[in-house]
Structure 1
Amino acid sequence: MSILVIAEHDNTALNGATLHVVAAARKIGADITLLVAGENITAVAEQAKAVAGVSKVLVADHAVYAHQLAENVSALVADLAKDYRHVLAPSTTMGKNILPRVAALLDVSMATDIISVESENTFKRSIYAGNAIATVQSDEAIIVATVRTTAFDAVANTGGSATLETVTTAEDAKVSRFVTEQIIKTERPELSAARVVVSGGRGVGSAENYHAVLDPLADKLGAAQGASRAAVDAGFVPNDMQVGQTGKIVAPDLYIAAGISGAIQHLAGMKDSKVIVAINKDEEAPINAVADYWLVGDLNDIIPEFTTKI
């Protein structure tokens, strides 16, 4: 099966999400092509070339792809997709932005957020906030799908020897333009790829208390920080830290949930974590049902003590 994977990157480095999508692609077939679209992306193309399991890297280096506007990239992908049986992208903001447009341009339906590959046209995906798993089969000539990255172990980013091929197609759809972006820089790991995540909920009380209590713990563990939607809505932290059905899906080795009751939407975003530790005053909190360890008590007392013992 010929498979086209859309690489996620920042024009400088390949995003780790791409490695998980390649892993999913390898369960479908061995003929995998990686598309790198951007501007001044020589470094990204070289990284893509080394990804294990990739046989070819298509490089679309042009100003119209500089900010990877969905309208421009989707037109490129739809044009290239005619030579492939599958088109895959990570189920991230980028993938969710581009692939529905690609499916519309190709006039095909798409599979979203797949968590398992059963065969070349049959996949599993979670529904009802992860409470049920649906098996879906596509009879489309071109199968378009986004991949839940936490459901597949990443392939190695070294050892590959893919060939590079330049794509000259570069058309500006002229229906959108890049204005500006604000990037929050942090020394912490990226939330969706971190091995350890420390999250706070409405129970932390305030933005000031969130940072006063949770930052020292995250610093000691080298952890990324997350939050429930309730904490984000209350203004404790920015929304790019939200974990859950409408936020980021994470599956770290260790997930510490402080002051999070465990609404079904939050559980959908973190219940695949290897080890879950819940700290909450309510011994009947729903999150305890999925936690491997839980402490009933005041997080303002427990977490500082916990931090001093690490």
Structure 2
Amino acid sequence: MHTFEELSALFSETFGKTHFPREPHTLYEPNNYFLSMGGKRLRPTLCLMANELFGEISPDAWNVATAIELFHNFTLIHDDIMDKAPLRRGQQTVHTRYNGSTAILAGDVMMIRAYEYISGIDLSLVQRILELFNHTAVAVCEGQQLDMDYEQRDRVTMEEYLEMITKKTSVLLAASLQMGGILGGGSYGNLDLLYQAGKKIGLAFQVQDDYLDAFGDPEKFGKQAGGDILANKKTFLLIKALGDVRGAQKEALDQLLAGNDPEKVSKVISIYRDCKIDDWAIELKHRFLNEALQHFDDMAVVSKRKAPLKTLAQQLVKREH
């Protein structure tokens, strides 16, 4: 069995090859530039780890893992366009470095290349993998649209936010695990447990992300402290606070969200602490994590094979950046 770090390094080494032809270089060079930024390679590595639950990692798993990573990067290129983001991992985004039209095409061809990798796997498995891949791709698009819709609204319920995060973030983690399991010949019961575990890991991951924005160490987190607060971004913390605050605190929070107070971040965080939103977020994160770990425990797989996935889940949720 491999650890996440070992498989991530192996995948990064194989993924580093060129996925696109030379010409037209005005289309393919932007893709190579974007992929060279690197990343955690979390989703493809989850696919490989799930595949290894059931035996040796199959060649098909490497192809599907590559497709997953290409799809993920396609979504990032298009997300950057929609968000008008100038930087990604500290470097210029594709639409900033080149132009918007090229970025759209670069993302499109990256998605098509992902399908080409899937088409190269065992024909007996193509249909099952494609059905899950397509279902996931649609859900991710729906999640992105919901995220944009919610930006235009003053209030979003916790149920709505959970649906959006599940679609935008969690389903790709869940599908990555399940696709690896499918390729490994996992039973339907084990495959369902893998999917459910992936969804809960994604939710726990997002709770931690929202928490770190407000309460994390900016030097470790790598982002501006309170960036979500400054942007009035809907997060687990803000939605919970809006549902809990009363009286003077409610008036103060509403005013902070509507205005441009130079001390907005510190004041909102103070309200969060007064309402014990920080404690609530930690408890919620651990609830999702424990549910994910229980799903792994319930799988009919020997414990030592599940250990790397359980360790990774805990690391993702306890991370400080």
TM-score (norm 1): 0.28
Larger relative contact order (Cα-Cα within 8 Å, sequence gap ≥ 6): 2
Which has a greater percent of strand? 1
TM-score (norm 2): 0.27
Which has a greater percent of helix? 2
